[in-house]
Amino acid sequence: MSRLSKLHIRKDDIVTIIAGDEKGSGKTGKVLAVMPERRRALVEGMNFIKKTLRKTQDTPKGGIVEKEASMAISNLLLFCPKCKKGVRTARVVETGKASRKCRKCGHLFDA
């Protein structure tokens, strides 16, 4: 079993997309779920796919639904509220607890 490394993205973070279809839009979204074993994240309002629904008692007509698909964590940057853009982060240990810090302005994300 391989050891998983720490990720720079966590659930409930606000992120911006730096690669893929949504790249140039400048949109930001909230991380709904993180899958560290697959190195993917589910971001609210981004990377939509169409999924067909089979006819069931709950959905007697079936149909096509749009939902968010997971995307690679390497395509996401943490959004800094001070810099107003996606930034790279550094890990710092302050008061015995590790937290993430903006490399540009020094904003602490886990304070």
> What element of type H or E holds 34?
strand 28-35
The H or E element spanning position 48 is strand 48-53
The CATH class given to the 14-102 domain equals mainly beta
Distance CA 78, CA 25 (A): 16
Please state the domain extents for the chain. Answer: 14-102
Of 4-13, 46-55, 68-77, the range with the lowest mean pLDDT is: 4-13
List, for residues 27-51, the tens digit of each pLDDT value. Answer: 899 999 999 999 999 999 999 999 9
The Cα 2–Cα 40 span in angstroms is 17
Which of 24-33 are b and which e, b meaning 16 or more Cβ less than 10 Å from the residue's Cβ? Answer: eeeebbebee
